[in-house]
Amino acid sequence: MNYIISIINPDSLSILMDLCNQLDLPFSITMAGRGTAVQSMLDLLGIESNERRIVFTVANEEKTKKLIQAQKRHMHIGVPGHGIVIAVPIKSVGGGKTVAFLNGETDNAAYTPSLNYAHELIVAVCSQGCTDMVMNAARAAGARGGTVLHGKGTGAKGAPKFYNITIAQEKEMILIVAAASQKAAIMQSILKKAGPDSKAGTIVFSLPTTQVAGFALLDNQDET
């Protein structure tokens, strides 16, 4: 079972919602975000805006493959500028009824994840306005790009601090997909150049992915 993150152009949102409905996926959550491509790259690809919609949904292995294949077919995922898809494996689910609901079943069910991943999703949480600092560090280690979500920390009363960083303040979350072999170098570069003791105050961690699409060289070879 996967937590699927689709990062798409705003005008493709209705198409994705139709695809999710056709597959009877139980729920979808949509957020606004923006890409980190520099203006010269946007001009090269003929893209007028880096505004993005990030859609989160849950699907079993079979529906994950069908959804990604449908996005490639109907939304041109894989063509530069049309978006990316990341499937993050769910390690555990709270209760058999929830597993059954997420699988579109009626009887209680069990869930055991597989643990073999070629790519990882790097999540970097930094102070507002420091996205370029983080992405420059990531690109220096081989990262190809990322997507930014804006939010606010929800630190407890008294604004606790981590490495003198106030948790409850405006934050930006950067999502970067990389080959597993590159993950450590990218994270180390971010920590060295934009880590907790810098202006960016970045906290970074990674998650495994079961499937990716829209990254050209990173795309799973068995997906067509």
Q: Are residues 10 and 83 in the same domain?
A: yes
Q: Per-block average pLDDT, block size 10, for the chain (224 residues)? A: 91 94 87 74 56 90 94 90 88 68 63 69 92 95 90 56 55 91 94 92 90 67 42
Q: What is the DSSP secondary structure assignment for residue 103, as one 8-state letter?
A: T
Q: Are residues 87 and 142 in the same domain?
A: no
Q: Are residues 108 and 15 in the same domain?
A: yes
Q: Does some domain include residue 195?
A: yes
Q: Tokens 């890409």 label which residue?
A: 35
Give the pLDDT of residue 46: 53
Give the pLDDT of residue 107: 63
Q: Are residues 85 and 129 in the same domain?
A: no
Q: Are residues 55 and 128 in the same domain?
A: no
Q: Does some domain include residue 35?
A: yes
Q: Are residues 144 and 158 in the same domain?
A: yes
Q: State which residues form the domain around 96.
A: 2-116+210-218
* pTM, two decimal places: 0.72
Q: Are residues 101 and 136 in the same domain?
A: no
Under DSSP, is residue 86 helix (H, G, I), strand (E, B) or coil?
strand
Q: Does some domain include residue 223?
A: no
Q: Are residues 8 and 87 in the same domain?
A: yes
Q: Are residues 214 and 111 in the same domain?
A: yes
Q: Does some domain include residue 160?
A: yes
Q: Please report, for residues 59, 60, 69, 76, 222, the alpha-carbon distance to residue 65 in angstroms, rounded to integers and kept in the order given.
A: 9, 9, 6, 15, 10
Q: What is the CATH number of the domain that holds 33?
A: 3.30.70.120
Give the pLDDT of residue 144: 86
Q: Are residues 81 and 11 in the same domain?
A: yes
Give the pLDDT of residue 161: 54
Q: Dihedrals φ, ψ of 154, to 5°?
A: -120, 50
Give the pLDDT of residue 30: 92
Counted domains in the chain: 2
Q: Are residues 61 and 86 in the same domain?
A: yes
Give the pLDDT of residue 222: 43
Give the pLDDT of residue 223: 43
Q: Does some domain include residue 150?
A: yes
Q: Does some domain include residue 184?
A: yes
Q: Does some domain include residue 100?
A: yes
Q: Are residues 32 and 68 in the same domain?
A: yes
Structure tokens at 151: 């939010």
Tally of CA atoms within 13 A in the half-sphere of 153 that contains its CB = 22
71, burial (CB in 10 Å: exposed 0-12, middle 13-18, buried 19+) = buried
